[in-house]
Structure 1
């Protein structure tokens, strides 16, 4: 059914934005988490329970792999994952946004660290999720990589499916971290056939025969002021001082043009970016990567208005747009993707609209189900185009 639906999508060009950390690789460099940390947090996000009113502690009821359970008669309050419980327990304090930048950064760093420390040990002996440790091992069984290979098989399966159907697409890897170069190297080994997962289909064959190294770039963001620096593979936060608050566009560009690897830098807009990103990456066979600006998101207490820029045009006659990210929260201001209407830059918030363009990736399911990305892609496309 999925392949039949995709075959009907050939009239438009597909633009895929693909997050890296905890979406297609199970190491979170931006958050300082190892593979074991991430696999535990994946289980924490898929194990659900209730907060016990007698001591305000979360108690597990079931995981996503379980059959439906009968809730206790005396239960009260919402059922939530352990990850959601921890996010509520450790959150930004009131008034944080009014504090000086250095204080905001310090507070959010502490909040993020408390969250990571809680979920990284979810299934450890003596912890509340100890009985779900087999789910960590299940993920490991699906992630038997060769040395230097980290991308999960379901991602390559989706790319092969698109290639086999001869569908034209632009693939843009997105990250806050320092892992873009590593992922692009693994992409290269996949396309050239030296990876454990082998390429198939005419699109990938064409990429192999005339292989070009993917282009890259990095964003700098201050609120709705967005700059793009073409060339770098790393975050601009590694080159700009933590207290960098320059507002003058001319001076900002002077700083960006001095970044190692920068070929050009521009102040841009949501309207310009929609088409320009597709045009830019067309120069490297429609494959490339962008490093987003983490300080913007952190300073906004992880609100979408400081997140990953994603301009779209609803009912676009030429393109389908889909963004995959494990930190997408549909209809929630804390979603990592700042989806905007390209014409007018209006922020798009709403379950019905966001589901058309955004996939809140469940990393656990993506690891254990080879068809996961294909299925989620098809669900988005069907919502974008009623004729499918």
Structure 2
């Protein structure tokens, strides 16, 4: 826990109260380090927070403040010029469809399974969506009820990476439902096993490593990029120069 302690004066945006007299980082420094590194490399990327809980407004506010140059450890983030939408959206699932709403936006997969893939592929800046916990619980906390993620191995222009400490190789006990478009231009994805996309588009966070190593998430992205090139090659595509979309 010592590595998680917030240094210096208490900050109600970037830190949370823990033990008496102790405050801890709300968001790991490794996350801000990832934003800083991708920006310095001139990468085109977006970040989408996906949570079952009610913590999104606070997390988005902290990221917005950091990108305004107010994080004491990462003042250079003010140069990243990433817009932050402080209004969380919702993703709700059923047997028939997945529905995304945010403000006036509403998209559903019933008529076209690619709608949400295209939406997240063109996402800009940083935002967040509350996923459907009750649906996950109804599906016994299995992949089938997890947070949906769409992957098109025939589209080398974007690389979706989902990072979550509850991702498991056991599809009966994991938090993401990966869906892959097997045919070019297809609108009907297939459910994919976690093992197919593990360390390709799905990253199971090692929290201890993420706390101890500020380059942890950067290493995760690098590893996924290397593996994604091979994944695309297996789908008949050459190595991509993809845009990053972190979820």
Cα 1:345–1:159, aligned 2, differ >3 Å: closer, same or farther?
same
Match of 1:147 in 2: 11
Match of 1:314 in 2: 153
Instruction: State how far apart, in whole Å, the 2-side matches of 1:212 and 1:321 are.
Output: 19
Select which of 76, 94, 101 maps to 1:229.
Answer: 101
Q: Is the 8 A contact 1:163 1:200 kept in 2?
A: no
- Show CA shifts across 1:236-262 (max 9, x none): xxxxxxxxxxxxxxxxxxxxxxxxxxx
Match of 2:45 in 1: 169
Match of 2:81 in 1: 207
Instruction: State how far apart, in whole Å, the 2-side matches of 1:212 and 1:381 are.
Output: 25
Instruction: State how far apart, in whole Å, the 1-side matches of 2:85 and 2:150 are.
Output: 25
Select which of 174, 187, 198 maps to 2:63.
Answer: 187
Instruction: State how far apart, in whole Å, the 1-side matches of 2:170 and 2:94 are.
Output: 23
Select which of 171, 177, 183 maps to 1:338.
Answer: 177
Select which of 111, 119, 136 maps to 1:276.
Answer: 119
- Show CA shifts across 1:152-172 (max 9, x none): 101111111101101010110
Select which of 351, 355, 369 maps to 2:199.
Answer: 355
Structure with greater proportional helix content = 1
- Show CA shifts across 1:177-201 (max 9, x none): 0010000100011001112231437
Shift, 1:331, TM fit:
4.8
Select which of 216, 224, 231 maps to 1:372.
Answer: 216
Structure 1 or 2, whichever has the larger Rg, is 1
Q: Gaps (5+ residues) in structure 2?
A: 15-25, 231-238, 241-247
- Show CA shifts across 1:243-302 (max 9, x none): xxxxxxxxxxxxxxxxxxxx24343354211111233x33xxx21111101000011110
Q: Is the 8 A contact 2:64 2:84 kept in 1?
A: no
Q: Secondary structure at the residue paired with 1:356?
A: coil
Q: Secondary structure at the residue paired with 2:91?
A: strand
Match of 1:293 in 2: 132
Q: Superposition pairs for residues 1-388 of structure 1, below 5 Å?
A: 139-144=1-6, 146-148=10-12, 149=14, 150-200=26-76, 205-207=79-81, 213-214=85-86, 216-231=88-103, 263-268=104-109, 270-279=113-122, 281-282=123-124, 286-342=125-181, 343=186, 344-386=188-230, 387=239
TM-score w.r.t. the length of structure 2 is 0.77
Shift, 1:215, TM fit:
5.2
Shift, 1:379, TM fit:
0.8
Q: Is the 8 A contact 1:143 1:152 kept in 2?
A: no
- Show CA shifts across 1:134-165 (max 9, x none): xxxxx333332542211010111111110110
Q: Is the 8 A contact 2:108 2:115 kept in 1?
A: no
Coordinate RMSD, CA, aligned: 2.2
Cα 1:224–1:196, aligned 2, differ >3 Å: closer, same or farther?
farther
**Greater Cα offset, 334-343 or 350-359:** 350-359
Shift, 1:214, TM fit:
4.5
Instruction: State how far apart, in whole Å, the 2-side matches of 1:289 and 1:345 are.
Output: 23
Q: Is the 8 A contact 1:323 1:357 kept in 2?
A: yes
Length, aligned pairs only = 211
Instruction: State how far apart, in whole Å, the 1-side matches of 2:197 and 2:159 are.
Output: 14
**Greater Cα offset, 142-151 or 358-367:** 142-151
Cα 1:140–1:323, aligned 2, differ >3 Å: closer, same or farther?
same
Q: Secondary structure at the residue paired with 1:228?
A: strand
Structure with greater proportional strand content = 2
